[in-house]
Amino acid sequence: MPLFYVLIFPGFLFLLAFALFAEYFDRKVVARLQNRQGPPWYQPLADTIKLLSKEDIITHDADKPMVNTVPLFGLAAVAASFLYVPMWTKDWHFSFQGDLIVVLYLLTIPAFVLVLLGWYSPNPFGSIGTGRVVTQLFGYEVPFALALLAPAIAAQSWRITDLLAYQDDHYWFALITPIAFLVAIAGLVGKLERVPFDIPHAETEIVEGPMTEYTGRKYALLKLMFSTETVVGAVLIAAIFLGGPHLPWVTKAVAGTAVAPLVGFLAVVLKALFIVFLLSVIKAALTRLRIDQMVRWCLTWLTFPILIQILYIVIVGSM
């Protein structure tokens, strides 16, 4: 059963399927918001198969061992982080004290993957994109970590299942963390390098940044890395701020029955799609910022409000 959990469900294969569906959902929502039809449901899968079948080209001056292995590490890190986020019950198999810190660490690895790919690429666009990735990392990572710290302080635990249990006993929790929730969404946009924080890729300026020289299977792995990271980030925020598999009144009504895991699973999926919907609205409504604007905005308009949010939680918790 542990091997089934890791490889099949809710492991790697399920994560890939969910990621492809979330990509379709994202593209469809953005298209409708822009008065376009959007792709069919199978388009992300078709694009992935097409990229996997294309010629895999490595430039002469590139570091071949590094170029061949780094994309795999990025996808593996995201897939590993998904195992620690509860999908249908708060009594999760892989839960342990401090798993939230491990998930945050694993979700940071894709940024370093792009840094290494751009550093070992001979293309000048890759070098420029690498500098932007590092600069942007210092902008969004601080408020994103602080946003997830706020619920952990309220629950007095770094364990995700403890945060879920705390929310089950304190329905008012959602009313005192709106700032942390919004900051977490903004931090996730930066982590995924989506509009308006898609500065490291900026197709109209530096083609694809660190990924400019990568084609075929490697490019497909990098795209899957971002798609799976979108799902993991959405499920993580849904678990920490929206109760994860818990639905008020519904969960207690079906507790102990055979449909309880199914209800919890559907709750997580719907909440994660709601997060993806918010990301899609942001993508359709905003335009790209400059790198200096992005860092300044994150360190002022995101960091200061979340510090006030944490102070408020500490004061409320001590009363």
Main-chain phi, psi angles of 193, to 5 degrees: 55, 50
Question: Which two tokens mark 92?
Answer: 């999760």
CA atoms within 13 A on the CB side of 198: 20
* pLDDT digits 0-9 by tens, 115-135: 888 887 778 888 888 888 888
CA distance 271 to 250: 15
The backbone region for 244, taken as left when phi is positive above 0, alpha when psi lies in -120 to 50, beta otherwise, is left
Say what the alpha-carbon torsion angle 111, 117, 122, 123 is, to the nearest 10 degrees: -50
Question: Which two tokens mark 221?
Answer: 């792995």
* pLDDT digits 0-9 by tens, 212-259: 888 888 889 989 999 999 999 999 999 999 888 888 777 777 777 878
Cβ 195 vs Cβ 282: under 8 Å: yes
pLDDT band at 290 (very low <50, low <70, confident <90, very high): confident
* pLDDT digits 0-9 by tens, 33-56: 999 998 999 999 999 999 988 888
Q: What is the pTM assigned to this prediction?
A: 0.93
